[in-house]
């Protein structure tokens, strides 16, 4: 298989990982048809083929961030960490094996989104948020409903602030991540 790189998260996609997080997608990748980045969910138009020896780094740093953009990225990073943590814990609470795997995959993707914001904002590390206890949610249907609400909130956040940031690159990434979260809305309604 040819190696690819995602221009959004910078991850290399190859024959060993093209199916990673497959439970978090409406459509599957195949060896001959990479439809999305398995790490961040970006659509195939943001994935490029890389040749052996070719530089395989994506530059996500923004030269000059204004204060408003820095705050928006900080909040976006915290939102994604919060959602990633929810999915991690929900995967342990879910009773249905398919839902459990989907939550694990969604957790990975949300944490990747947080890492993208960390890089864009030039932050040193991901935030450590207050530990939440979701054990009172004993039914998969309730966990799915909570997941759906989180995805809708993420889409609303990206749509609301995508025009308030100081960089067209960040606006584009917010729009791409919003599309990924839209797919997650449909996914969390499906099960």
| pLDDT confidence of residue 62 | 64
| pLDDT confidence of residue 147 | 97
| pLDDT confidence of residue 131 | 87
Q: Average model confidence (pLDDT) for the chain? A: 92
Q: How confident is the model at residue 138 (pLDDT cuts 50, 70, 90)?
A: confident
| pLDDT confidence of residue 53 | 57
Q: How confident is the model at residue 60 (pLDDT cuts 50, 70, 90)?
A: low
Count Cβ atoms within 10 A of the Cβ of residue 162 and give its class: 0-12 exposed, 13-18 middle, 19 or more buried.
middle
Q: What is the pLDDT of residues 70-98, one digit of tens each?
A: 999 999 999 999 999 999 999 999 999 99
**Is the confidence at residue 13, as pLDDT, over 80?**
yes
Long-range CB contact pairs, 149-154, < 8 A, 24+:
150/83, 150/86, 151/83, 151/181, 151/182, 151/184, 151/185, 151/188, 152/185, 153/79, 154/79, 154/80, 154/83, 154/178, 154/181, 154/184
Concatenated DSSP letters of 81-127: HHHHHHHHHHHHH--SHHHHHHHHHHHHHHHHHHHHHHHHHT-SS--
């Amino acid at each position: 298989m040819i190696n690819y790189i995602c221009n959004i998260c910078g991850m290399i996609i190859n024959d060993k990982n093209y199916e990673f997080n497959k439970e978090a997608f409406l459509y599957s990748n195949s060896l001959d048809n990479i439809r999305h980045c398995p790490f961040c969910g970006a659509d195939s138009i943001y994935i490029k083929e890389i040749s052996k020896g070719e530089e395989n780094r994506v530059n996500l740093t923004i030269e000059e961030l204004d204060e408003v953009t820095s705050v928006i990225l900080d909040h976006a990073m915290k939102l994604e960490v919060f959602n990633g943590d929810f999915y991690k814990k929900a995967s342990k609470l879910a009773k249905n094996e398919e839902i459990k795997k989907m939550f694990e995959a969604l957790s990975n993707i949300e944490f990747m989104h947080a890492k993208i914001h960390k890089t864009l904002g030039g932050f040193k590390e991901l935030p450590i948020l207050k530990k939440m206890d979701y054990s009172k949610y004993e039914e998969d249907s309730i966990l799915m409903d909570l997941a759906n609400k989180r995805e809708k909130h993420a889409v609303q956040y990206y749509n609301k602030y995508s025009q308030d940031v100081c960089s067209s690159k960040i606006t584009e990434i917010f729009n791409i991540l919003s599309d990924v979260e839209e797919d997650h809305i449909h996914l969390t309604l499906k099960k």
